[in-house]
Chain A
Amino acid sequence: MSEPTHLGGSRDRENVQNEFMRARAEDITLPAPEGAPEPTDDVGKPRSLWQDAWDDLRRNKLFIVGSVLVLILIVMAAFPQLFTSVDPRECVLQNSRQPPSSEAWFGYDLQGCDVYARTIYGARASILVGIFTTTAVMIIGGLIGIIAGFFGGWVDGIASRITDVFLALPLLLGSILILTAFPSTTDTPELVVIGKVVLALALLGWTQLARIMRSSVIQVKNQDYVQAARALGATSTRIIGRHVLPNSLAPVIVVAMISLGAYISAEATLSFLGIGLQPPVISWGIAVNDAATYVRTSPHMLFFPAMFLSVTVFAFIMLGDAVRDALDPKLR
């Protein structure tokens, strides 16, 4: 490009402001006394872009609230015993549908199980599904996106067409098909059940991240520093690993975090439909399913799991929003 970096029009103003804010490095030390060497410019302590983003995040209320919530939820998923001493599987039919009381803060569900305990224990399934699905989606989608974006040409052609095919499959319908094809019984171990749901969601959800990664990579690929690496004789592996990937990650991370909430929602929906997680796995979706028909008579059975579900999804979305603001270079 043979044009200067200043841009005009409305970006004029942006750039004018950036001129002031950009130059952390342009401090001038006062001239040294006679005979001393030229004053050196002080550029401040080393501070990477990630550190800058972290500084921004720490001050963002959305981030603080969201991350506190998420932390609580993760602890809840890992150590539910910290929150309740009641065994969620110890169900006494006599207590069926009892409203909240001092013994059971959230009341009892249809089977006579403590709703509070089941809600706490249900966090694990949701969090696990959310985290595993997001990880799987990032790996699959990320890989395909990088390959498509970096190599271009016919490789991109094929990868993008595959992406289009999967994109066309509706998430819920596809998951239903996959999960009904491989049903679980009450004997199936918990992790396998969760694994199947993760697989179904990941198989249908990777396309979003693939496309984001692809466009991010295409943008980064044309930057001068990538050309400089090629000019030095760097291999494609090095270029992708050191230059393209770290600089393409930001939008991917943001979308992944926001999607995490969406995957938890999706799991709940599948469980509500009876094909996601199955008893004896404890999940909010299952609880909502069981409680749905009794919503008018015993609303507490529905209310608490549903509330926890909403708060969890909300917390991840808040986190994702905060991270997006912190990583957005235009807002710097």
Chain B
Amino acid sequence: MTVTDITVGPGEGGSRDEPLLVVDDLQVEFRTREGVARAVNGVSYTVDAGETLAVLGESGCGKSVTAQAIMGILDTPPGFVTGGSVRLDGVDILHLPEKQRRTYRGEAIAMIFQDALSALNPVYTVGRQIAEMFKVHRGMSQKDGLVKAVELMDLVRIPAAKERVNDYPHQFSGGMRQRIMIAMSIALEPQVLIADEPTTALDVTVQAQVMELLADLQDELNMALILITHDLGVVADVADRIAVMYAGRIVEQAPVADVYHRPAHPYTKGLLQSIPRVDAKGSELYAIKGLPPTLTRVPPGCSFNPRCAYAQDSCREGGAPPLERISDTRAVACYFHEEVLGAQQ
């Protein structure tokens, strides 16, 4: 079963025979004093133009490392890409020489991070930082770059952009800074935008504004959006498809409605049951027992098995269960997914 068999959800399939971005069996390890941690252990997913894929998981599952490997900004050492490929428009960018890779970064594929304050350079004005994108990639002059910067700041709805283009990052609020980072990342109209926990550090009202902005921009530019997060609420709002990650592997991939209403993996199910809701008051929350494993010592068999309510002996033996297609649009890595699907309330 190839990864491209998991077809895209709503959206264009288009002229290509495979989606815009294809991550195929990516492997990343971290070599630490305590051992080798398999941070990304055979991760495959795809995103197409105009589509939003949410990569959902908790800390340590490898979702951010995957994104960094795709962007080529992984800290090496201690991180090493040891396998797989990342194809953008058919080109394997993972194995390109650095010089060529750099041309892709910013132009074809861009990334925004969680904390805009540390991602923006505090000693340069925001206008200058945005203009730099055009200077470096398009050879524009500083003056022209600044004109474009004002345009972009308007696009991301920063009030009084013309006056504020010469302000410094610390003079903006958290939500505004996040928008400036978004402006920088879409400056060159990339085909793929990776958003790594873009709203986790923001207040909920600001979060709503920023997510709405991202959705609008995506529509306008027909970008593919990879949203990396642990927030099940945000995902439900914007994602078309979801890839759930645990301990370096994808354990479930499906369209958004299926994941929320008919989860097939015990971890997904457990997560959904453990979150409190703002629209209803429950009694006791279901809590997945135990803790995520240390990646230098993953349990044998399925890495989730010590915490799993459905685990049997077969889960502890052999290798990890493979990500298996169970329908046109769904794949799950669990031998007992039918039980999980069957036991819906």
Contact = CB atoms under 8 A, between A and B. Distances in A.
Q: Does A pair with B?
A: yes
Interface of A: 3-4, 6-13, 16-17, 19-21, 23-31, 38-39, 41
Contact of B68 (A16, A27, A28, A38): A16
B21 interface: no
Interface string B171-189: 0000000000000000000
Given A20-B37, A28-B306, A6 B197 contact: yes
B291 interface: yes
Interface in B279-317: 289-297, 299, 305-307, 311, 316
Contacts of A12: 64, 113-115, 196
Contact of B299 (A3, A20, A30): A30
21 contacts: A4-B200, A6-B114, A7-B114, A9-B117, A9-B118, A10-B119, A12-B196, A13-B73, A13-B74, A13-B75, A17-B78, A20-B60, A20-B294, A26-B293, A27-B294, A28-B290, A30-B299, A31-B305, A31-B306, A39-B290, A39-B306
Contacts of A31: 305-306, 311
Q: Which 3 A-B pairs have the closest CB atoms?
A: A8-B115, A8-B114, A9-B118
B30 interface: yes
B65 interface: yes
Nearest to A59: B33
A9 B119 contact: yes
Contact of A6 (B32, B200, B306, B311): B200
Nearest to A21: B32
A211 to B, nearest CB: 24
Contact of B119 (A4, A8, A24): A8
A11 B64 CA distance: 12
A31 B289 CA distance: 11
Interface in B37-84: 37, 39, 59-60, 64-65, 68, 73-75, 78-79
B224 interface: no
Given A30-B299, A31-B311, A39-B306, A10 B118 contact: yes
Nearest to B201: A3
B30 A11 contact: no
A239 B64 CA distance: 39
Contacts of B68: 13, 16
B163 interface: no
Contacts of B296: 20
A30 B311 CA distance: 11
Contacts of B197: 6, 8
A29 B307 CA distance: 10
Given A30-B299, A41-B290, A23 B201 contact: no
B266 to A, nearest CB: 14
B152 interface: no
Contact of B307 (A4, A7, A9, A28): A28
B73 to A, nearest CB: 7
A6 B113 CA distance: 11
Contacts of B116: 8-9
B299 A28 contact: yes
B34 interface: yes
A25 B293 CA distance: 9
Given A23-B294, A39-B290, A11 B37 contact: no
A12 B114 CA distance: 8
A41 B119 contact: no
B112 to A, nearest CB: 9
B333 to A, nearest CB: 18
Contact of B32 (A3, A20, A28, A29): A20
A3 B197 CA distance: 13
A310 B295 CA distance: 47
Contacts of A27: 293-294, 297
B314 to A, nearest CB: 14
A128 B150 CA distance: 66
A39 B114 CA distance: 35
A26 B292 contact: yes
Given A7-B118, A9-B114, A26-B291, 19 more contacts: A4-B201, A6-B115, A8-B114, A8-B117, A9-B118, A9-B119, A11-B115, A12-B64, A13-B73, A17-B75, A17-B78, A17-B79, A20-B39, A24-B34, A27-B293, A27-B294, A28-B307, A38-B289, A41-B291
Nearest to B37: A20
A30 B299 CA distance: 8
Nearest to B59: A19
B34 A8 contact: no
A219 to B, nearest CB: 18
Contacts of B120: 9
Nearest to B75: A13
Contacts of B114: 6-9, 12
B201 A8 contact: yes
